[in-house]
Structure 1
Amino acid sequence: HRRVMVVGSAELAINGKAGVVVSEGTSVRIALTDVRGREEVEVPCEQVRTLLYFAASNGVAQAVRDELQTEEAASMVDWADATKGRTALWSAAFYGETRCVELLLAAKASVELTNKNGFSPLWVASQRGHASVVRALLNAGADVNHANVRRITPLIATAMHDQPDCCSLLCSARAGLWATFEGKNAMAWARGRGHEHCAEVLIAAMSEQDPPSAVAQELGATAAAAAQEDTPIPLAKSPPNSLTAALATVPRPSLSPHAGTAKTLWPLNGGVSGG
């Protein structure tokens, strides 16, 4: 039986009265015991939360520790609310409650359980800038490239929302630098939104990794086409390889095959459209 609290029910909300689950289906029967004795009540599933979930959501580490030491801990640790599918770990990660996250991970909470929109604990922690939570989740083996239902990866989320510390942690964990959303990779999203610190982190990471073969072929084809047309390479759509990253801010001769006066290509920090 799981130890639960009931949300939004006037007769049960007084002093956060707690109980245990007797049975569940489309609704939940809960046994409550106080000085007046035992009573059973039936409430909709969406009104039920575990005490562990409440403690983790509010950053009460001692309460999380206490709940994890109960007999019901095994059935509670990965319990998800019926409304949005959030677990205690997910909620603690969302609110940046690092100590609660660490306790839940030590209790073998699943790092990959998402909410109903496909957001993983790592995704929401990254997007909200909770670097210590991101580090803990990565150390526990969280999938660094787990995208949400819109196919936005945690790395792209950090670029969109200007979270350079989390961006750096994800890059160090070998996040997919060339994954795209709406045709733009994380570096392009950071540049387009004016998030220069994130962009610098991503450029440095890109300079240390060669692009996947398919991306490299596209880059080569783009450079060749630009050389034929004597036009700048549209870096907004083509992520740099190690050479272009290293030379990003250095004026270079044109790739034009024609003789004549030298020209320069656009630097990496130009020509990227906003998100």
Structure 2
Amino acid sequence: MSSNENIEGEIKTLKQRVHAAARDGRAISIFAMLWNLSSDLVDEVLDFHTSENGQITTPLIIACRNGEEKVVSILVSKFKINLEQTGTVKFDGFVLEGATALWCAAGAGHLGIVKLLLECGADVNHATKTNSTPLRAACFDGRLDVVQCLVEHGADISIPNKYNNTCLMITSYKGHAEVVRYLLEKGANPDSTAHCGATAMHFAAECGHLEVVQDLVRFYGKQIPNDYGMTPLLVAAECGQSSVVEFLTTKVDYSA
């Protein structure tokens, strides 16, 4: 075996070891492996994507996905790491391509890491390939603290995903009333429509989230028909959501 092959093998092993250490939260090990290497080699190691268990991630992305805050702190403070690296990660049974470290931290609810990345200049609106932003990831799981942090750092609450589904829509569908209320207070439009013509109220009505429906109405959300001619009231009735039907019936203008 040539000396070049030996060197390539050692670098490959180093990449594997650093990724495993990042995944498992061994921050000191990462520093020990990288601190005396050339900047070019460090960049090569930290930019390398490892495929494992259906995910394709760099050390920073897997550390953020797993909530390893000490690892993230070492990587962003001791090395000139690219915060906008993207990878492929799994969340709640979905495979997300083009996810950044911030997106992963927000989606997993790791507030400390979210704050750290934002303080270091991470792009708060960097979206995945389906145009899902870090804010949308936080809204999906109803993490009000993470949502507030992202918005305070400039997250755009109006950016929809590729289906024109907004952050307000996904959090209404999931029934996260506190997050819905916060987004509405920050100016989210309750009457924005997805490509299917549905509003946030349609999604909340379908799932029987009465408190969410009430807040949407309180913020002047209208009973707009979707592309199939179904209003939120009709959607709630079709889905057997009696409490929502009872409430929305009192809000219909039958004289119109």
Fold shared, TM-score > 0.5 on shorter chain: yes
* Contact 2:50–2:58 (Cα < 8 Å) also in 1: no
**Structure 1 residues 95 and 30: CA distance shift in structure 2, 3 A:** closer
C-alpha deviations, 1:150-171, integer Å up to 9, x for none? 1111101111111112111111
| 2:16 alignment partner in structure 1 | 12
| 2:130 alignment partner in structure 1 | 117
C-alpha separation in 2, matches of 1:101 and 1:44 = 22
**Structure 1 residues 44 and 159: CA distance shift in structure 2, 3 A:** same
Q: CA deviation at 1:248?
A: 6.0
* Contact 1:45–1:82 (Cα < 8 Å) also in 2: no
2:78 aligned with 1:70: yes
Q: CA deviation at 1:91?
A: 0.3
**Structure 1 residues 180 and 251: CA distance shift in structure 2, 3 A:** closer
* Contact 1:78–1:88 (Cα < 8 Å) also in 2: yes
| 2:24 alignment partner in structure 1 | none
2:194 aligned with 1:183: no
C-alpha separation in 1, matches of 2:107 and 2:188 = 20
Instruction: Tell me the matched-pair count.
Output: 204
Q: CA deviation at 1:79?
A: 1.6
C-alpha separation in 2, matches of 1:156 and 1:147 = 9
Greater share of helix residues, 1 or 2? 2
| 2:170 alignment partner in structure 1 | 157
| 2:92 alignment partner in structure 1 | none
2:232 to 205, 230, 236: 236
RMSD: 3.9
Q: Counterpart of 1:118 in 2: which secondary structure?
A: coil
Q: CA deviation at 1:22?
A: 4.8
2:64 aligned with 1:56: yes
Q: CA deviation at 1:180?
A: 1.2
C-alpha separation in 2, matches of 1:123 and 1:162 = 14
Letter in 2 for 1:12: Q
1:195 to 209, 222, 228: 209
C-alpha separation in 2, matches of 1:254 and 1:82 = 50
| 2:240 alignment partner in structure 1 | none
C-alpha separation in 1, matches of 2:84 and 2:251 = 55
Q: CA deviation at 1:65?
A: 2.2
2:152 aligned with 1:139: yes
Q: Percent identity?
A: 23
C-alpha deviations, 1:204-239, integer Å up to 9, x for none? 1227xxx8xxx9xx99xxxxxxxxxxxxxx85389x
C-alpha separation in 1, matches of 2:114 and 2:254 = 52
* Contact 2:233–2:248 (Cα < 8 Å) also in 1: no
| 1:166 alignment partner in structure 2 | 179
Gaps in structure 1 of 5+ consecutive residues: 1-8, 32-42, 220-233, 239-246, 257-275
| 1:81 alignment partner in structure 2 | 87
Letter in 2 for 1:52: L
Letter in 2 for 1:187: M
* Contact 1:184–1:237 (Cα < 8 Å) also in 2: no
| 1:102 alignment partner in structure 2 | 115
Letter in 1 for 2:203: W
TM-score norm. by structure 2 comes to 0.65
**Structure 1 residues 236 and 249: CA distance shift in structure 2, 3 A:** closer
Q: Counterpart of 2:78 in 1: which secondary structure?
A: coil
C-alpha separation in 1, matches of 2:198 and 2:133 = 22
Q: Counterpart of 1:90 in 2: which secondary structure?
A: helix
Q: Which has the larger radius of gyration?
A: 1
Does 193-202 or 86-95 show the bigger shift? 193-202
| 1:204 alignment partner in structure 2 | 218
Gaps in structure 2 of 5+ consecutive residues: 1-12, 22-29, 90-96, 235-246
C-alpha separation in 1, matches of 2:233 and 2:253 = 21
**Structure 1 residues 254 and 197: CA distance shift in structure 2, 3 A:** closer
* Contact 1:56–1:88 (Cα < 8 Å) also in 2: yes
